[in-house]
Amino acid sequence: MRKIFAAFLVFTTYIGFISAAAVPVRAQVIGKAMENRMKDVPDGLKFRLSEGVEGAEAREKQPLAATDPLSEGYAANLLKRIPESKTTTD
């Protein structure tokens, strides 16, 4: 039974490799289409600032939600669960 199961696993592994090679991948076609679309766009980020919309001053300010403060012990327990940040020296 073990030999049959092992042979089945080896067979499915090889079939997985063959089927992956047999299926045409369109990643290069999609990549080239994206490259053609982006060739006229300048490099970097582009920002546009404006004065804003009229009536922005009259917007209704949303009230803050009601909350209960955490106790010192509970806050300390939460902070202990956070892993320490790893620093590297260059």
Burial 2-26 (b: 16+ CB within 10 A, else e): eeeeeeeeeeeeeeeeeeeeeeeee
Residue 49 falls within a domain, yes or no? no
With respect to residue 55, please indicate whether it lies within any of the assigned structural domains: no
Does residue 19 sit within a domain?
yes
Q: Is residue 3 part of a domain?
A: yes
Q: Percentage of the chain with pLDDT > 70?
A: 90
Q: Assess if residue 25 is contained within a domain.
A: yes
**What does the chain come to in residues?**
90
- Note the pLDDT tens digit of each residue in 33-52: 888 888 888 888 888 888 87
How many structural domains are present in the chain?
Answer: 1
* 77: in domain: no
- Judge whether residue 25 has pLDDT over 70: no
Q: Are 78 and 70 in contact (CB under 8 A)?
A: yes
Task: Name the band, by pLDDT with cuts 50, 70 and 90, for residue 26.
Answer: low
What residues make up the domain containing 20?
1-42
What count of other Cβ atoms lies within 10 Å of the Cβ of residue 28?
A: 8
pLDDT tens, residue by residue, 63-75: 999 999 999 999 9
Mean pLDDT of 75-82: 93
